Structures are given as structure tokens and as C-alpha cells.
Chains A and B, each alone.
Chain A
Amino acid sequence: MSSSMSATPLTKTGPVAVRAADLVKVYGAGETEVVALDHVTVDFPVGEFTAIMGPSGSGKSTLMHCLAALDSISAGQILLGVGDEQIDIATLNDKRLTALRRDRIGFIFQQFNLLPTLTAAENITLPLDIAGRKVDQAWFDQVVTAVDLHDRLKHRPTELSGGQQQRVACARALVSRPAVIFADEPTGNLDSTASAEVLGFLQRSVRELGQTVVMVTHDPSAASYADRVVFLADGKIVDEMTSPTADGVLDRMKSLDSRTTSVDGSR
């Protein structure tokens, strides 16, 4: 596996759910060119809860969007899946990308996660319904039990609290048994109790159900739920921390902030 001089290669030896190899993402051209991702190579092993952290503008959201097949890449490879099922998603057209998102990827966004016209249950099974696939009722019940939403299934999003809405989103992400779930600041709009519920659920889905989760966050205490934290700055991976604690992550972030400041000279 090739790696650039500037990025710390973070390749793993076990089965890998998603792998970014020498990933480059450039916005604009000429004078307005911005390198958002600068030769990033990173593996996300199966059954691991990874948090991506970094200061604003570090490229953490861009990395996630590229990994989740929501954004195109400028160079490099994104490999999804294990063994024979591994796909280089850069080679897919829009139709197959859409199907890939539908069948193999789960999403949890910061806000506006649910369709207001559908009930909680309908929102949960939405990707399966779109695909025209049958819902595995036993699995559905298990997921709904895990997010504790049994008595809320008939409600519309407007009748649910923020935390409940986000748990519906979690259930939706999980119900189609995706290869990987991407969560973009899932607790950004929640209070601490609701945050703890959502993060606890994500953690359990990894530990108990063997799900792979990749989460972008800027909250050190959210990151502390993860098995590993990957730190990004200026489009490059600068560090990694396993079994993180909130304090440890906070310290690391502080040093990253000051580093960015010294490099930019503008903060």
C-alpha cells in the first residue's frame, strides 16, 4: 500500500469495511483551488467504532462524504467491503452509487434526518422500501428494541423529541444491515442526555451486533464512545488514538488547534 510523505499511513491488518487509499479531494481550480484532502490513506476495520476529529476546515466532513459515496474524489481509491465483495466506488455511475448507498451504507446526519410525511416506522424501513426489499421483522424488532422506540413507531417526526428523532435515524441506518454506518455530527443538535442515548446505542451496535460505525464529531466526549479516534488537520491525517477518553481527546484537539494557528498565522 503506497503512502505519501505527509500522511501517516493507517492501514490495518484485520478485515476492513472501508479503505481510503491515497485519497485526494480538490475543490475549485487555478487560484481558487483548495486541497480538502491531501493524500489520505486510512482503514476502517470491520466491527470498529471510529471517530474522525479535527478543527474546522480540517477536511473531516469531506472525508466522510467521500467515504460515503456522497461526493466525488479527485484521485485515489475508496474500497468498500471485504474480500471478493470489495468495490472501488470511484468506478461506479450515479445509479450504482445510489444503489450502493441504499444497500450497503447507513446514514445519520446532524439534522433533518427524517421525512416529515412518514411515521417513525416508515422512516426506519425507508431504504428497504425504496429498494423494494422485504423487512426482516425479527431484525426490525431487535433494532427498535435497541433504540427503545416501540411505543413511538406510529408517530410522525414532528411528534418526537430531538433525541427520539435521532434514534429513529439510527434504527434506519441499522435496519438494512449496511457494511458501514456513517454518522455526521449525530449529537450536534442534542442535549447531553439525548446525546448519551444515541452514542450509547451506536457503541452497543458495534460491540453487540458487530456493526462498523464511522462518526465525524467535534465533541471530545462524543469521541470518547469510539474505539479509536482519527485526527485530521489541513486535509491530512495527523494522529490516531485508541481507547480514547474525553480528556485525552480534548488535550489532543487543543494541541491541534494551536498547531493550526501557528501554521495559518491567522487564528
Chain B
Amino acid sequence: MNLTLKIWRQKGANDKGKIVDYPITEVSPDMSFLEMLDVLNQELIEKGEEPVAFDHDCREGICGSCSMFVNGQAHGPDSMVTVCQLHMRSFKDGDTIFIEPWRATAFPVIKDLIVDRSAFDRIQQAGGFISVNTSGNTQDANAIPIDKHDADTAFDAATCIGCGACVASCKNSSAMLFVSAKVSQFALLPQGKVEATDRVLNMVKQMDDEGFGNCTNTGACEVECPKGISLENIARMNREYLSASLKG
């Protein structure tokens, strides 16, 4: 396959940045998208040019690092995949492919396709945990009976990898799907109920302080989420938040 890549190049956080065209030839349809970028970078290095900076780590859809906007969609045109799981057979010979970083004020560009997603870390630190006594007297979590439906729903929420596709896809750059998944995974379990009030209030406050937008329920986040996190989590967080606001 021969392709034209239109890639966002930005030398640093303060650089204006621009889209640069890169023709690439003999791309195998069996390559992953990141392997195709590896090939491009090898060519750029051999020509003495600066390679394209992009985040990647596990390359098996777990770490959520490989966050980029491919042809107008977070993680590209396929459903339920991250960019590392996206293969070149999803494109056609002669295609022009736009590759851009996540766009959100709360996710500033560090370089090229790499954005600073530490806002998510700060939201987690604001309440995305449970306080457990680890002195040796910890009760086995499995000793507490939990409704199967709640356990499954909490697990589904916990599969969020924090890649930021929800923010990138949302026209408002809202982080509600991410935050709601992190709230839900605890709110549904007995261990999480103890700190539920403070958790949701603090995490939502941190989310707002980071500059993410307001959710307008377009549902784009749910569609583009590589882990299929449901909008039900946002509704649950709304309930948790309103209930916590009345208490607190």
C-alpha cells in the first residue's frame, strides 16, 4: 500500500505546530498502525530528519499510551481497539491519513503526537482509591458477598485504561466517561461505599479544575472507547454526585 500521511508536528509545548505531509510506500496491510509509524520514523532517521514522537508502551491494548486521532477518530476507524491494535488493512491503497494528537486544553501537547495526560492522574489522586489497612489484619476482599451484577458492572468500569479517547472524541473535551468509570468501579462495591461521598465530590472538582468541558451526552465517548465503557457510568456518577452534594 502507498499512503500519504498528514502528521501533526510540534517541536515542543510552546511551538505553534503544523500538519506535515509524509508519503510512505510499500506498507504491508498486516502491519499495525504503530509499526507503520516505526517504519516511517526509521526512514526519517536515515534521512537525518527528526522522527515523529508518539506515545506507546505495551502494544497490546492495555496501557492506553498510544493515543492519537487517526482520520478524525480517536484510535482510528475501527471499534473497540487502541491504535496499537489498529491494522493497516483498515485503510486502502492511496489513502490520505490524518494523524493528530488528542485535542483538549487539559491535555497540552508535549511534542508531536504526545500529550500530557497527567490531569487524569490528578483526578485519580483526588479520590480514585479506597483506604485499606495494610498492617496485616486486612480482610480478604472475597470474604464479603457481592451481588454478581454489581461485581460484573464494577469490573467493566475498571477496564478503563485511561487512554483519553473519551476526551479526544467529545466535542466538549469532557472527561466524564473516564471519571465516571473510576467512580463507578468503587461505588458499586462495598469496599468503595465508605468513601463514596468524598470520592465523587473530590474527583469531579478536580475534573472541573483541570479544565475539561461539560458533558452534553453526545455519546461519542462511548462509541470511541476502546474498552466499551458505557454511558450508564456517567448516569451513575451523576446520581452519586447529586446524592453526595445533598449529604455534604
Partners in one complex: no
Interface residues of B (CB under 8 A from A): none
Interface residues of A (CB under 8 A from B): none
